[in-house]
């Protein structure tokens, strides 16, 4: 056992947030929906949509029976709506391949549409108590500071980073699953990116970064995510028009939502290519 295990696990037992997908009664489907929604979206923004989604579609089969456009509509303002299409495709595959039950094995999960290594590992770990390395941004940051002594990890996980995380994984599967979520929670609540609360950290006495005097990050520039005036904002405005219309909309409504002709046409073309909307007439558009 690493000397990091006990203090972090004890801290998690005392400070973990009460989140619906972590409760004992949470279904694997609830965990899966949360993992799709939490990609690049804060927990606070996911709580309401997650509850609404599970109320409307309590099983993969319930979602798979609906048109993809309804999944996109229900996704609302969570952003990155292609996640809704991928979740719908995954639900359909679960019905076709696994009798409507979310599979427990990593190999089956990662074979689902829209499910990569991280999501498959997270579902197997959090929903089924399996032993997997779960490397999200929070986990990577905690390990970078506590073990490697640097403020931030690299842009993408490296082999050395994965080997480090694998070496720290407890041997027993239930403990490993608890460890995965505990480190994630520590990164979300204490070892944050902008304002880490080192005084509240359960491993402050052995954190390599803190013991080195919290040296400033000196790696490649870390880019923030712009929003105003971007294609992401334009796409979001166009999608909002379709979600709220509950039927085909005339192109004039899209013009009103985003007057810049060149950017609007570019984003409209990308939304059609991503199958997030369809053209149903010469000048009318709708959700798929």
pLDDT tens readout for residues 158-199: 999 999 999 999 999 999 999 999 999 999 999 999 999 999
What is the percent of the chain where pLDDT is above 90?
85
CA quadruple 178, 33, 91, 156: dihedral sign: negative
Indicate which residue of 35, 161, 178, 185 is catalytic.
35
Domain ranges of the chain: 231-286
- Res. 1: pLDDT tops 70: no
- 245, 69 in Cβ contact below 8 A? no
pLDDT band per the 50, 70, 90 thresholds, residue 222: low
Say whether 107 is catalytic.
no
Strand partners for 249: 285
Task: Report angle CA 259, 226, 157 to the nearest 5 degrees.
Answer: 140
The pTM of the full predicted model, rounded to 2 decimals, is: 0.87
């Amino acid at each position: 056992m690493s000397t990091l295990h006990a203090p972090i696990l004890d801290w998690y037992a005392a400070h973990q947030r009460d989140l619906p997908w972590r409760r004992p009664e949470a279904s694997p489907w609830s965990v899966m929906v949360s993992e799709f929604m939490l990609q690049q979206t804060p927990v606070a923004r996911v709580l309401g949509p997650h509850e609404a989604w599970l109320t409307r579609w309590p099983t993969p089969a319930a979602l798979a029976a609906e048109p993809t456009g309804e999944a996109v509509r229900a996704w609302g303002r969570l952003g990155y709506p292609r996640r809704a299409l991928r979740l719908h495709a995954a639900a359909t595959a679960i019905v076709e391949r696994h009798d409507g039950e979310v599979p427990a094995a990593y190999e089956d999960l990662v074979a689902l549409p829209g499910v990569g290594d991280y999501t498959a590992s997270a579902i197997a770990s959090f929903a089924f108590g399996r032993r997997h390395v779960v490397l999200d941004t929070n986990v990577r940051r905690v390990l970078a500071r506590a073990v490697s002594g640097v403020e931030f990890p690299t842009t993408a996980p490296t082999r050395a980073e994965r080997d480090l995380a694998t070496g720290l994984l407890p041997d027993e599967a239930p403990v490993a699953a608890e460890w995965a979520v505990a480190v994630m929670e520590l990164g979300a609540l204490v070892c944050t990116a902008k304002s880490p609360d080192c005084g509240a950290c359960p491993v402050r006495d052995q954190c390599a970064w803190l013991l080195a005097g919290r040296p400033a990050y000196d790696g490649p520039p870390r880019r923030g995510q712009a929003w105003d005036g971007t294609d992401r904002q334009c796409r979001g405005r166009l999608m909002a028009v379709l979600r709220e219309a509950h039927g085909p909309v005339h192109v004039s409504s899209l013009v009103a939502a985003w007057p810049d002709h060149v950017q609007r046409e570019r984003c409209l073309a990308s939304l059609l290519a991503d199958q997030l909307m369809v053209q149903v007439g010469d000048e009318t558009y709708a959700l798929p």
